Structure 1
């Protein structure tokens, strides 16, 4: 490189300060900055919208009483509370009520005692302290209005090392971060869009290996190392592998569709929308309708619910969340391969994202 070339690079752009700005801030950079601003705003709106005013809605409550008519009448009264905080239903007895709590068919259970004895409320802090506390508050006020006293029993308590039952959520968040960062690293190193289906398959294979390692390390840290979650390490390892691969496959698919911008779209889906709706800090029943509806269908929510089920409920309730994760994993992989095949089949199609600074894909 000659000295004149070096000097020309450091010289002001012809045309004054406006031209200097235009030369320093490219159109692509300006668009990316606007995208970051939109993502930041979406982050604030999503988290504030989900958490600023938690209100119980549709908390599942099993009701047992000395007689079936009494149980049905109590359930009807609780189900009709203003604001619909509870979704109450009668069960055949105390054993049935406890079984529903331990299998996640109900979030809690009210055992109505005959005479003036205190009724018992069964909660499960292993499913999250926010849910058990909300249930205790709502049922406590209802019992007080009926002139009855209440005894609260934690039927499925969170472990001592699992503060407020949040360890499952934070573990899944870590797995999700690993998933989209691994996919992003593949894009940074070799172009957002793979050149052909063989290379797309290689990326998916590399992601699968990473997911298995990340899943194992997360399960070991949460279990044997920190004692944050009870349950088997193997089950959590399998779940972690699914979460990491599902999120990574989503990110690869979005990169295949939108290039580098796909990384931002993955963050929008998983972090901006998925994390506040995951049922971690606040259970589904405490979230506004939008977040309550989308949470179970996204990887953070599905992973959090499954992790709590594995840790505290002997795996009950994991079928749905695992199907959600499998759908994202298979769908993401399929779209990734399809995008690579489509681009390969287009005559003269460019390999990268179409952005001038991006490397040709490997």
Structure 2
């Protein structure tokens, strides 16, 4: 039987203090144990394959520097040889401006046509795939102009960090730190109050990034940045991990195991492929680029990447994106908790009343019943015999 407990600051609905899985029949338990991992694996593979199986540029921002007519002609030729929407070119006549576009992350690469050679600027820390593609286009331009080509990587990843993948691994650690914490709490301690759940989430959001960064740094070092930058990276990881935890907690409190599956889809299967870590953002399909531009995984990764490799370039935009989702998560969790508290408190109004209050309520109910009965008794009786067909009573015998 379901018991309801009302606290001063929280309402929890328990089932004889049993866990969520204990309330399910044996067949359902087995199904949950088997289906949930398979569901996670299937969605994970489907999303990663869909996002990165065939990396193709889509509106990849590239800067072309050189004489105006020459650069425009080259852009038209490149567009003819590739898909029309493959590149989005920015034109300039200054080589320094082209390089600054790459350093500020306005473009993923730049091709500068000089008097004697062609110079290509890339930023492989933002994605080895897109950097290689820019070099390939630059080589074709140099071959067409019969000039030598030189390349400069303005944001190269540190040694032992091929393609800047360590930032992506850091994102995975921060995600799982709080996601798994909330899932375990939902399964093992379903009666925990909201304050306790948030406390555990906060602890995991602090320890997860610290432990993850320590492990990663043992292989790639400190990324060659200052202590202040490392602190900023940890701060971003903690904020992101807490946001993941709050959203997961909201889904779990709203839909139970179904909420956990929603969290798997949105916070793992949709977040990791669209983050731009495994596949460069400019090489993602249009749908995944759209997710990248609005979702939390990409916000945390690009914010971290900007601190580590781009001297803080464009961190304000990505910070705003992540903070927005943090605020949304807190608002949703507050709304869901308030709704559950109101619903449960309403159910418990009579059951939690004292003996005197219950007697009063019972007396009022009896009085209402008596009034209803008395009104019904005062109603005139309606004969079921049709008029004109009355049966005359025989006179009683005399004598």
Q: Using structure 1 for the length normalisation, give the TM-score.
A: 0.79
Give the C-alpha shift of residue 60 in structure 1: 1.2
- Partners of 2:344 and 2:208 lie apart in 1 by 39
CA shift in 2, pair 1:324/1:201, >3 Å? farther
Give the C-alpha shift of residue 36 in structure 1: 5.1
Give the C-alpha shift of residue 259 in structure 1: 1.2
What corresponds to 1:272 in structure 2? 269
Find out whether 1:304 has 2:301 as its counterpart: yes
Q: Conserved in 2, the CA contact under 8 Å of 1:85 and 1:138?
A: no
What corresponds to 2:209 in structure 1? 215
Question: How big is the alpha-carbon RMSD for the aligned residues of Structure 1 and Structure 2?
Answer: 2.7
What corresponds to 1:324 in structure 2? 321
What corresponds to 1:113 in structure 2? 114
Give the C-alpha shift of residue 314 in structure 1: 0.6
- Partners of 1:260 and 1:350 lie apart in 2 by 23
Give the C-alpha shift of residue 112 in structure 1: 0.3
- Partners of 1:156 and 1:307 lie apart in 2 by 14
- Partners of 1:337 and 1:200 lie apart in 2 by 10
What corresponds to 1:252 in structure 2? 249
- Partners of 1:139 and 1:349 lie apart in 2 by 69
Q: Using structure 2 for the length normalisation, give the TM-score.
A: 0.72
What corresponds to 1:237 in structure 2? 234
Q: Judge which range, 52-61 or 308-317, deviates more.
A: 52-61
Q: Judge which range, 212-221 or 280-289, deviates more.
A: 212-221
What corresponds to 2:92 in structure 1? 91
Q: Conserved in 2, the CA contact under 8 Å of 1:72 and 1:89?
A: no
User: Mind listing any 5+ residue stretches in structure 2 that lack a counterpart?
Assistant: 1-23, 349-399
Cα deviation 1:333-357 (Å, max 9, x = unaligned): 2211211111111156799xxxxxx
What corresponds to 2:285 in structure 1? 288
Give the C-alpha shift of residue 303 in structure 1: 1.7
CA shift in 2, pair 1:160/1:144, >3 Å? same
CA shift in 2, pair 1:226/1:38, >3 Å? closer
Cα deviation 1:4-41 (Å, max 9, x = unaligned): xxxxxxxxxxxxxxxxxxx9743465467555544443
Find out whether 1:338 has 2:339 as its counterpart: no
Q: Conserved in 2, the CA contact under 8 Å of 1:130 and 1:281?
A: no
What corresponds to 2:44 in structure 1? 43
Bigger radius of gyration: 2
User: Mind listing any 5+ residue stretches in structure 1 that lack a counterpart?
Assistant: 1-22, 352-362
CA shift in 2, pair 1:347/1:208, >3 Å? closer
Q: Which secondary structure state, in structure 2, belongs to the residue aligned with residue 157 of structure 1? A: coil
CA shift in 2, pair 1:292/1:345, >3 Å? same
Q: Where does structure 1 differ by over 6 angstroms across 4 or more consecutive aligned residues?
A: 348-351
Give the C-alpha shift of residue 224 in structure 1: 7.3
Q: Which secondary structure state, in structure 1, belongs to the residue aligned with residue 302 of structure 2? A: helix
CA shift in 2, pair 1:92/1:144, >3 Å? closer
Find out whether 1:133 has 2:95 as its counterpart: no
Q: Which secondary structure state, in structure 2, belongs to the residue aligned with residue 166 of structure 1? A: helix
Q: Conserved in 2, the CA contact under 8 Å of 1:251 and 1:263?
A: yes
Give the C-alpha shift of residue 165 in structure 1: 1.4
- Partners of 2:214 and 2:30 lie apart in 1 by 41
What corresponds to 1:13 in structure 2? none
Q: Judge which range, 71-80 or 314-323, deviates more.
A: 71-80
Cα deviation 1:247-277 (Å, max 9, x = unaligned): 1111011112211321221111122121112
Give the C-alpha shift of residue 163 in structure 1: 1.7
What corresponds to 2:61 in structure 1? 60
Q: Judge which range, 274-283 or 32-41, deviates more.
A: 32-41
* Match for residue 314 of structure 1 among 311, 315, 318: 311
Cα deviation 1:154-184 (Å, max 9, x = unaligned): 1221111312211111111111111211222
